[in-house]
Chain A
Amino acid sequence: EADIYQTPRYLVIGTGKKITLECSQTMGHDKMYWYQQDPGMELHLIHYSYGVNSTEKGDLSSESTVSRIRTEHFPLTLESARPSHTSQYLCASSGTNTGELFFGEGSRLTVL
């Protein structure tokens, strides 16, 4: 069973607010990822990290930022949320080049 946790699970906020979505894993995985997904639709990679102090942008342009100060922690921040940011955000981690991704339960964000 995967040990990767996301908080909050659900968040409804107003436009212009700053938010941080938390993601933590206890498996010691070096690689971590953030995907954005509209319900039941395609997953889009927005950020990834190969290890501490390593972060890269994914294919989908995103106004969010990430940090990787500790192996287990990979938070995603939106400085000023907008309705276009309404979506589900999925965090994942992987321990090897061949390995499958372990996903958290997701954070469903609604920006009013």
Chain B
Amino acid sequence: AQKVTQAQTEISVVEKEDVTLDCVYETRDTTYYLFWYKQPPSGELVFLIRRNSFDEQNEISGRYSWNFQKSTSSFNFTITASQVVDSAVYFCALSEYNNNDMRFGAGTRLTVKP
């Protein structure tokens, strides 16, 4: 069965610091999809990125970057020059091609202090 582990429960940084959120996954499928979502204090989950299992290219979007490594089953998320508005709970998720439900990690609460 698929599983997602986010070992960091809470992270606190000072504004402008870089921060990396870890995500490790388990799956038996060869085709799967990895996601990151952001949940700000308002409560709604916001989709950030999707990556499929055949594409190990790292991706950068502004201050956000993602490092996908199949060899270590990891899909880590880095925020560069963090800002107070980045404060939220971040969830990593996994969806297998042959399985219609999406499994979420326990989330990492990021607090960025001014």
Contacts and interface: CB of A to CB of B under 8 A. Distances in A.
B partners with A: yes
B101 A104 contact: no
A101 B47 contact: yes
Interface string A34-64: 0100011111010010100000001100000
Interface stretch (B16-24, B68-76, B102-110): B102-110
A48 B39 CA distance: 21
B52 interface: yes
* Highest count of chain B CB atoms <10 Å: which of A94, A98, A108: A98
Interface in A57-112: 58-59, 88, 90, 92, 94, 97-106, 108
B34 to A, nearest CB: 11
Interface in A11-30: none
A42 B43 contact: no
Contacts of B44: 103-106
A101 B101 CA distance: 10
A90 B101 contact: no
15 contacts: A40-B107, A40-B109, A42-B104, A43-B91, A45-B102, A48-B100, A59-B101, A98-B50, A98-B52, A98-B97, A100-B50, A101-B47, A101-B102, A103-B37, A105-B44
Given A41-B106, A43-B104, A105-B43, 4 more contacts: A45-B101, A97-B95, A98-B52, A108-B43
Interface of A: 31, 33, 35, 39-43, 45, 48, 50, 58-59, 88, 90, 92, 94, 97-106, 108
